[in-house]
Structures are given as C-alpha cells and as structure tokens.
A and B are shown apart, each in its own frame.
Chain A
Amino acid sequence: MPELDKIIHSPARLKIMAALMALGPNDQLDFSTLGGTLGLTDGNLGAHLQTLEEAGYIKIEKTFVARKPRTFVRATTRGRARFEEHVEALREICKV
C-alpha cells in the first residue's frame, strides 16, 4: 500500500517536486525558473528546497554560467521514488 510522504505533502513542496519531475531523470532546473513557475519568493522557495534537500529528495548545485552565478535543482532518485509513491497514495484515496 503506497504511503503519503509528510515532507512532500506540503502544497509548496508538492509543486516543487511536480515541477522537477517534469524534467528528465538527471536534468536540473534553474532556481529562478522554478520560483517564477510556482509563484514563490526566493526566500520561501529557498526554505522549502532546504527541507527537501535535507530529506535527500533533491540536489542543489551552485555554478557559473557565462560568469554569472546560477543555482540549479534536480530531483534525486530517492526523491522521485517518494514522489511517485505519494502520487499513488493520493490516487488510492481518490478511489475511496
């Protein structure tokens, strides 16, 4: 029986994971794009990303592109698996 994940269950973090799952398994999404897509402020997004990173669900990489600092985020294998299980649990609830 799939289980809901308490960390992913928060609406903002659910959307963050959904956005990252739209990419290929090892693709990384730009921090600003992620915030813009979800309508989150940098501070709010940063706090949620930290929670997800501490759980091992995402990986954050800071790098330079054309000499400008950029931050990229990707879902880890563990994060993807937990998200899929969470979605499956939601589907099970819908069947009730």
Chain B
Amino acid sequence: MSNETTPSPSPAEARAALAAIDETHAETRRNIAGSLAGPVLIWWGIIWAVMLGYAQLHSGQNRLWWVFIVAGFAGQWVIQKLRPPMVKQAPDWRAAAFWVGIFAYAGLFVLLLEPWDLLHDLSAADNALVDRKITAYCSIVPMFAYVIIGPWVSRFFVILGLVMTALILVGYYFVPGWFYLWVGLVGGGSLIISGVFIRKFWK
C-alpha cells in the first residue's frame, strides 16, 4: 500500500510538513521531559540551594545534610507517584556511558588532588578549608553531568555545565566568606534553570 503513488506536494506544502514534524518532535520531548525530569530537577535545585544556604548560616558546618538529602528523595518519590510514566524506556548504552563518565571524572579529580595527606593532618584552620574543598568538589562533579548529556540533549547543557563550573571556582577562590551561599545559588540555580529549560524550551 505504501508503494502507491502519492500526489507530490508543492515546495510550500513540503516546508509546512517539515515544520510540523519539527514542532511535533519538540513538543513531544518537552511533554515527556517536562512531566517528570523537569519537576525533579527543579525540586533538587530548591533542596540544594536551601541545604547550602543552611550551611552558610552555620559557617559551613551542616550536620543536618542528611535531612536535606532524605527530604530530596522523599520529594522525588512523591513527584514520581503523582506522574505516571509516559514512556517505557528500553535499555540504552548512553545511560551506562553517562555513569561511567561521571565516575571517571570524579575519580580523576581525586587522583589529581591527592587529598590523603591533608585529610590526615588537620588543624582547626584547615578544617574550614577542607569543608570548602569538599563542597566545591561535590558541586563541580554534577556539573560535568551537564557536559556529558549535552551532545545528546542540547548544547545548552554543555554551556550550562561549563559556566557553572567556572562560577563555582570563582566562588572558591574569590568569595570564600560566602562560598556556601554562592554554591547553593549556582548549583541550585543550574538545576532549576535546566528543569525550566527542558519544560519550556527544549527542541
């Protein structure tokens, strides 16, 4: 049946059909991602910003970090329950490549920084520095996730990951007194921006 002759559309009709394809493609991706990934990213952005804001108020000492993490996962669970899956995904090599990339990047950073001696011999003054280093490390590694997924999802994420990494380093070196608030706003902000992006502007 598909081999029957099809009346050939005019160039204008063909352009309209291609435009309809592009629009449908983008709309589908936005609907799927906006339903679950978008709200989850925004939620974790809020958790991140509040958790680091709390650390700033307590001079970098955040003994309640686990409460924020538990609240984050609880919120994510609720969001997932409220939004049934729109897509049944088949196993994808890109998901495995993503995690391998993240762990390799995280491991590479540890090997390069060689923090073993520093962690062994801490003075009270060094303690604050180590806390700041750990926070910077834990913030920079997730930014690499944006860089990895960028080529598959949108170039926007590559730029976002690189800009946010640079901003974290700026905070680390030039704004040490307000570093936790800085990272809270940069890290949380990037999650919120990416959540809004895939809900509204992803093509």
Residues of A at the B interface (CB closer than 8 Å) are: 3-9, 11, 14-15, 18-19, 21-30, 33, 36-38, 55, 65-66, 70, 72, 82, 87, 90-91, 93-94, 96
Contacts and interface: CB of A to CB of B under 8 A. Distances in A.
Given A23-B87, A90-B17, A94-B15, A6 B6 contact: yes
5 contacts: A6-B1, A7-B2, A22-B25, A28-B87, A90-B18
B120 interface: no
Contacts of B25: 18-19, 21-22
Contact of A15 (B15, B20, B31, B92): B20
Contacts of B1: 6-7, 55
A22 B29 contact: yes
A33 B35 CA distance: 10
A29 to B, nearest CB: 6
Nearest to A36: B31
Given A25-B90, A26-B90, A65-B85, A19 B9 contact: no
Contacts of B31: 33, 36-37
Contacts of A28: 87-88
Contacts of A65: 84-85
Contacts of A8: 2
Interface string B60-87: 0000000000000000000000001111
Smallest CB-CB A-B distances: 7 pairs: A26-B90, A93-B14, A18-B24, A22-B28, A4-B6, A33-B86, A28-B88
A29 B87 contact: yes
B8 A18 contact: no
Contacts of B5: 6
Interface in B159-201: none
A89 to B, nearest CB: 8
Nearest to B10: A93
B4 interface: yes
B159 to A, nearest CB: 23
A21 B8 CA distance: 23
A29 B35 CA distance: 13
Contacts of A91: 14, 18
Contacts of A15: 20-21, 24
Contact of A37 (B18, B28, B84): B28
B141 interface: no
Nearest to A96: B11
Interface in B1-58: 1-2, 4-6, 8-11, 14-15, 17-18, 20-21, 24-29, 31-32, 35
A6 B2 contact: yes
A33 B9 contact: no
> Which of A3, A6, A70, A82 gathers most chain B CB within 10 Å?
A6
